[in-house]
A and B are shown apart, each in its own frame.
Chain A
Amino acid sequence: MEGVRYEVPETLQAAVALLAGATGDARVLAGGTDVIVQMETDLIEPTLLVDVKKIKELRQIASENGGFRIGAAVPGMAIVNHAALCQAWPGVVDGVKLIGSIQIKGRASIGGNLCNASPAADSVPALIAAGAIVRIIGPNGVREVPVETVPVGPGKTSLAKGEIVVSFLLPPRPPHSSDAYQRFTPRTEMDIAVVGVGISLTLDDGGTCTAARVALGAVAPTVLLVKDAADALIGTRLDEAALDRLAKAASAACRPIDDKRGTKEFRIKIAGVLAKRTAQQALERARQSR
């Protein structure tokens, strides 16, 4: 059997050239927690692995115009241990915290979580709710797109041949803003979301919600950004009636499958319940944030 070739470029341009010039199945290797499992279980047989961990743009967390730019290959533990990020974006950090074990988070990255394109990816609903912008580089240069445009189906992304996710930009936070991510799983750790909900919101000085984004995971072929659910919160103080409307809108948006983790009916119901709980947690955090 022909073995896979391994390359470890130190620049984005070199990585793009390798991927764009590859003849067979070329894969980006970041943390490897999906790609290596897929190789081990013969789901994929790549001819080229491009290890992007020596490229500095993919490996740093930096402040940028009041927000944060997170390299696509930064390991989860570096995100979880980043105090300023935990303060500004606790929901995004909660999503990352739920990705596998400590060992897995020692390697796994949000770039990988996004590009693996699982509808149940834990960091993705929170990143979509956060309004994160992905920087992608490819043979035709750099483009910046919202996170929600990257996954297009289970295991499928909108990335073209030769393109690499470089980093994620989390925008600056207005006062009284916060976020939350919650998921339902039978086991609290080391499990895959039956439903996941990410919500980011901003309150005015009087406690009325002025901006919100709601994203649902594991209830459709891709993580969903649900505008109707966000609209149920905007202009309210997240009273019981608003939360009920949120739950209805969240459930209405679900297009789930039946699988061993949950039935369609269960997922639709839980999406509403969990949306309420997640909104309440984001609200509590936003009230406490300056």
Chain B
Amino acid sequence: MSKKYHVTTTVNGDEYEFLCEAQQTLLDILRDELMLSGTKDGCGTGDCGACTVMLDGTMVCSCLVLAVETEGSRIETIEGMAKGENLHPLQRIFLELNGLQCGICTPGILIAAKALLERNPDPTETEIRYWLAGNLCRCTGYDKIIRSVQAAAKEMRGA
């Protein structure tokens, strides 16, 4: 019988408690225990970025974080991005400019793009492309993704 660990974390401002085994990833717990399935399960090895979340303000692949490590930490997922009915500008502009096709990579890309714009409100195209290098789009819709991030950045700067 594997030992269960009791973990308390904050996800999108709400406190959650859960039991997990040591080898379970944060991604497993988000999707299967907390029923926050907006974070996508892509490769499971940190290559694709579909499972990107913010952990204590740092962008990470939740497939490469053990849930047991997150005791006392602050997690932000795609579910916390819109404020009620109001989409974040990145979400709205991704819709307007077709910044997504199948949508599997979208939550991870939105989390990553938001982290970029908080750090650098006016990134160059090259900076956006390098920042998002860890987020793969299997539909290869990169050009519209980059344009959407640029348009959102412009709007968010009030330019």
Contact = CB atoms under 8 A, between A and B. Distances in A.
Interface of A: 1-6, 8, 29, 31-33, 36-37, 39-41, 49, 51, 53, 75, 77, 100-104, 106-107, 189-190
A102 B112 CA distance: 9
A100 B46 contact: yes
Contacts of A77: 58
A30 B21 CA distance: 18
B92 to A, nearest CB: 24
Contact of B66 (A5, A32, A37, A102): A32
Interface centre among B45, B47, B69, by most chain A C-beta atoms within 10 angstroms, is: B69
Could you tell me the dominant secondary structure of chain B's interface residues?
mixed
Interface string B5-25: 100000000000000011101
A35 to B, nearest CB: 9
B59 A3 contact: no
Interface string B21-47: 111010000000000000000001111
Interface string B77-118: 000000000000000000000000000000000001001000
A36 B25 contact: yes
B61 A104 contact: yes
A106 B45 contact: no
A107 B2 CA distance: 26
Interface in B113-156: 115, 130-131, 133-135
A106 B59 contact: yes
Contacts of B135: 101
A107 B64 contact: yes
Given A36-B63, A49-B22, A103-B59, 18 more contacts: A3-B2, A3-B21, A3-B23, A5-B22, A6-B68, A33-B46, A36-B25, A40-B44, A51-B69, A101-B134, A102-B112, A103-B49, A103-B52, A103-B112, A107-B61, A107-B64, A107-B65, A189-B130
Nearest to A107: B60
B58 A29 contact: no
Contact of B23 (A4, A31, A103, A189): A4
Interface residues of B, number: 31
B23 A37 contact: no
Nearest to B23: A4
Contacts of A1: 2
A285 to B, nearest CB: 21
Contacts, number: 87
Interface centre among B25, B59, B131, by most chain A C-beta atoms within 10 angstroms, is: B59
B131 A102 contact: yes
A65 B45 CA distance: 40
B24 to A, nearest CB: 9
A86 B50 CA distance: 30
24 contacts: A3-B23, A4-B21, A6-B5, A8-B69, A36-B25, A36-B63, A36-B65, A37-B46, A40-B63, A49-B66, A51-B69, A101-B61, A101-B133, A102-B134, A103-B46, A103-B52, A103-B61, A104-B46, A104-B61, A106-B60, A107-B58, A107-B65, A189-B133, A190-B47
A106 to B, nearest CB: 4
B3 interface: yes
A31 B46 CA distance: 12
Contacts of A102: 59, 112, 115, 131, 133-134
B2 A36 contact: no
Nearest to B47: A190
Given A32-B65, A102-B134, A41 B45 contact: yes
B45 A40 contact: yes
Contacts of B5: 6
A4 B25 CA distance: 13
B128 to A, nearest CB: 12
A104 B2 CA distance: 28
A201 B60 CA distance: 35
